[in-house]
Amino acid sequence: MAAGLFVLSGCVAGQASPDTTRQDIQRTLDARAAAVLDHDAEAFGAAGREEFANLADVPLRSWEYRLTDVRRSGDRATADAQLRYRLDGYDSAPVTAARTLELAERDGRWYVTADRPGRGGAQQLWQQGDVDVVRGERSLVLGVGQDRARLRQIASDADRAVPAVAAAWPGEWADRVVVLVPDSLAAMGGLLGAPAAGYRGIAAVTTGETGRNGAAPADRVIVNPEAYGELGEFGRRIVLTHETTHVATRAHTSQATPMWLSEGYADWVAYRGTGRTAAQAAPELRRAVRAGDAPRTLPADEDFRFGTGADALGRAYEGGWLACELIADRWGAGALSDFYRAVGAQPRREGALEQALREVLDTNPEAFTAAWRDYVRLRLG
């Protein structure tokens, strides 16, 4: 019995201490997050202090890191994490961003030595410079390297876009919009995590994940300061109303939603009530129709890819707009929004359009496409 107790005791004493690296690093990141919210530079640490200062005026409601992977080598570690943050008064759900952090252990504690975008991740605006904040009545504009007068103008443009979208879209949404204004086209590409050249000539884009069942993560409208700056008042109105429509409809946009519907609906809302004729709103498609090259099918998703050429891209957007115009004219504006929600409610692309056409519009893809071809010729011929 004594020998048995000795062996058991020896086994317990010889067990290795549990590895608490992950928990210890999570505590370090929790403290870093608390420092951001408390504006405590000393607690934040030396790594990324410039970015910390750039965040000073950004109205944050929450900020947290969720570890996804830790790789340790001695007193060094690399951690992959999801940064989740919300802007106070604007985000009902957090924005997520992949981060990779380098850490060093000293005296039993872990310290962040570097913080960068994770693989495939994009930059955040505060990593590009000091963030200037302008609050509109229904908008929040965050800019880097921009004159405040210009940011106030963009806030005014956004404030006009929000009620225009609310009047057209009957679904519930935040009734406000967040606009990011980087200091260059290259910086815009950094925020999107994509080559900037693909967005040359594009005045603005909306980021955000599609959502279902009425919930979607927060969206951001990102302005291309070069292209947006060349627009007149009407152009700015169209662009920001279009992008704000994407914000409003995000929760009802899913993998099942074809690009012609999501982009066409955004243009339909943007041009609604402006008095613009079809020829003015669809010049590229009008040229094609008059040249005897009218489209035979609704625009495919790949037709909306940036870099396909301005003429082809214009025809895709204009074709989607006229498809939505057709629905609103023939079945009514309410049926158009019902149709949009019905398509987005489907779990997959296959069969989604067919089902929504049948249930909401009492038609089928072949008949609808034929009606759209006739409508395009009627409006643009």
Cα torsion at 297, 239, 159, 259 (round to 10°)? 30
* pLDDT for 5: 35
Continuous H helices in the chain: 2-13, 21-38, 41-44, 49-54, 148-168, 185-192, 225-228, 233-249, 259-271, 278-281, 283-290, 310-331, 333-344, 352-361, 365-380
> Residue 121 and residue 115: Cα distance in Å, rounded?
12
pTM, whole model, 2 decimals?
0.89
For residue 192, what are the CA distances in angstroms to 118, 132, 216, 320?
13, 19, 18, 24
CATH class of the structural domain 122-253: alpha beta
Which of 361, 352, 368, 97 is CA-nearest to residue 209? 97
Cα torsion at 348, 351, 352, 355 (round to 10°)? -150
Residue-wise DSSP of 145-175: S--HHHHHHHHHHHHHHHHHHHHH--S---S
* pLDDT for 18: 67
One fold for 21-118 and 122-253: no
* pLDDT for 194: 87
Question: Domain segments of the chain: what residues?
Answer: 21-118, 122-253, 254-381
> Residue 333 and residue 336: Cα distance in Å, rounded?
5
Please identify every stretch of the chain with a pLDDT value under 50, giving residue numbers as ranges.
1-16, 211-216
pLDDT in tens, 87-135: 999 998 898 999 999 999 999 999 999 998 898 788 999 999 999 999 9
Q: Would you state the CATH architecture of domain 21-118?
A: Roll (3.10)
* pLDDT for 17: 55
